[in-house]
Amino acid sequence: MKQSEIKELSVAELQEKLGETKKSYSEMKMTHAISPLENPIQLRSARRNVARIATELTKRELQ
């Protein structure tokens, strides 16, 4: 998910997306611990997406 896509979402949508992305990331981590993922770069991109969404939420709270 790109930053431009994140900026277009509302606060409620961002919070929903954050929950979904965190859940997806934790599931990927567990799966990767048991047996390696085909593409371990997915972990990095999911973690970064969580950070992007959380940053945008914090930015909006401060405004």
Number of domains the chain is built from: 1
pLDDT at 10: 94
State the alpha helices, DSSP H only, in the chain: 3-8, 11-34, 41-62
Residues (pLDDT < 70) of the chain are: none
Structure tokens at 34: 């048991």
CA distance 20 to 60: 20
Q: Which domain holds residue 37?
A: 3-62
Largest Cα–Cα distance of the chain, in whole Å?
A: 43
pTM, two decimals, is: 0.90
- How many whole angstroms separate alpha carbon 21 and alpha carbon 27? 10
- Would you state the pLDDT for residue 1? 83
